[in-house]
Amino acid sequence: MAAPIDDEFQVRLEGQSALLAPARERYYRLVLALAESRWQERLRQELPLLREVRAHQDALDALLGPALRRAQAENWPTSHPTVRTLWEVHSLREQLARDVARKLGRSAQESLGGLMSSLEDWLITLPREVPAHLREQTAAELLPDTLPALREAVLFAARLEPLFAHPVLLSGRLPFSSRQREELALGWARGEAALAALWRRLSGVDARGFMVAELRERAALAPRRPPGTGTERLLHAEYWYQEARSRLLHMARLRLAPLEPDPAECLAVMWWLFEREYAPHVRLHAPGVLEDARAALFEVAYEFWDAQRPDIPEDERWTPARWARLDKLAGRADEGRQGPDGEHVCEALRELIQRHGVGTRVSRGWWAPSRLTQLVQRAREVLG
């Protein structure tokens, strides 16, 4: 027995016609909401509807294109309810794409699923006052697990936590393997940028800043359990970033005393030290962060710290190779105007010479040169 005529076009749509009526309802509600004068507020209340449209869009796109081409080729009657619904869904879809694209300043030719994702993200990141009782909900809304920056931050934390979860000896050899040093140096900038992007995203919404302030306070506390939400993942990553950064800055400043480099300089020094500790010929080169003369001054400070470390043999302290490096570095450092930092290094060298030169010919003819190259030469006479 032949199927009733009312079912004919549903059969031709291969059982997919059930998608049409719900899609028409969803599209119609969104088109009406977009036409309102306060459409942003209305759509913020309709976020579940936006997500529902996005969730079904791939299946609808797969249905509509072939079905419409077949309807035109076979001249399906538009008076039939199923065919009429098919064309209404198509018309509303096109209208919705145009309206959303216009609101976002985008092209209506983009996929509707992509436009809906962009619209949702735009709506949830609108600046607003976030009441205390909505802070957790708002943060969770802003930090879905699908957010690329959050994924990058999670990877960053996964690299940092194993390295800094236990006490680290700050003054000896750097406590990282070759692979760990490479991963840390290469991944730091990306992880730091991801965290900065996430905090900017939160700050852009939080008009009065109370939500962000509360989250930053929580991020300063050591995590007590593995993170389970987007918010917890951010706080977890931020905690380990700050912990790692603090220890790296401490390591750098310890090795550059009496200098007091700023945080950016410290990190540049640490990436250099990751190589320098095992390859003494590697020079400190950080364009945009350190000028050549200042980099040389840092290297001089490090060479003198390294030579006096308690954990190296005596025959590795004041070697001819070290003095050759110091002669060149001091010359480069003297080419710049170092100000107080240069004087701090010179004063430390004078104290070193006086301490080790007691009773020597150098101490009997002592004078205090002002140039670093001359002080290095004096130190070599005493120590080398």
Domain range spanning residue 167? 146-240
pLDDT at 360: 65
CA torsion through residues 260, 262, 268, 274, sign: positive
Same domain, 10 and 120: yes
**How many domains, the chain?**
3
Rounded distance between C-alpha atoms, residue 122 and residue 44, angstroms = 10
Rounded distance between C-alpha atoms, residue 339 and residue 327, angstroms = 20
pLDDT mean for each 10 residues of the chain (384 residues): 58 83 96 95 93 94 92 91 93 97 95 94 94 96 96 97 88 87 93 98 97 98 95 98 96 94 94 91 92 94 93 91 95 85 91 80 61 91 84
pLDDT at 136: 96
Same domain, 90 and 15: yes
Same domain, 15 and 46: yes
Look at residue 260 and tell me if it is in a domain: no
For 203-217, the pLDDT digits (tens) are 999 999 999 999 999
Look at residue 78 and tell me if it is in a domain: yes
Same domain, 205 and 298: no
Same domain, 40 and 100: yes
Same domain, 108 and 158: no
Same domain, 119 and 161: no
Cα-based torsion angle of the residue sequence 24, 27, 30, 32 in order, rounded to the nearest 10 degrees: -60
279, two tokens: 């390859």
**Which of 94, 124, 154 delimits the end of a domain?**
124
Look at residue 190 and tell me if it is in a domain: yes
Look at residue 281 and tell me if it is in a domain: no
Look at residue 34 and tell me if it is in a domain: yes
Look at residue 155 and tell me if it is in a domain: yes
pLDDT at 144: 94
pLDDT at 357: 74
Same domain, 195 and 160: yes
Same domain, 164 and 114: no
Look at residue 255 and tell me if it is in a domain: no
pLDDT at 5: 46
Same domain, 102 and 152: no
**Which of 224, 240, 256 delimits the end of a domain?**
240
Same domain, 120 and 182: no
For 220-273, the pLDDT digits (tens) are 999 999 999 999 999 999 999 999 999 999 999 999 999 999 999 999 999 999
Look at residue 249 and tell me if it is in a domain: no
The length of the chain, given as a count of residues:
384
Same domain, 9 and 106: yes
208, two tokens: 């009065």
pLDDT at 117: 93
* Region label for 335, one of left (φ > 0), alpha (ψ between -120 and 50) or beta (otherwise): alpha
**Which of 218, 240, 262 delimits the end of a domain?**
240
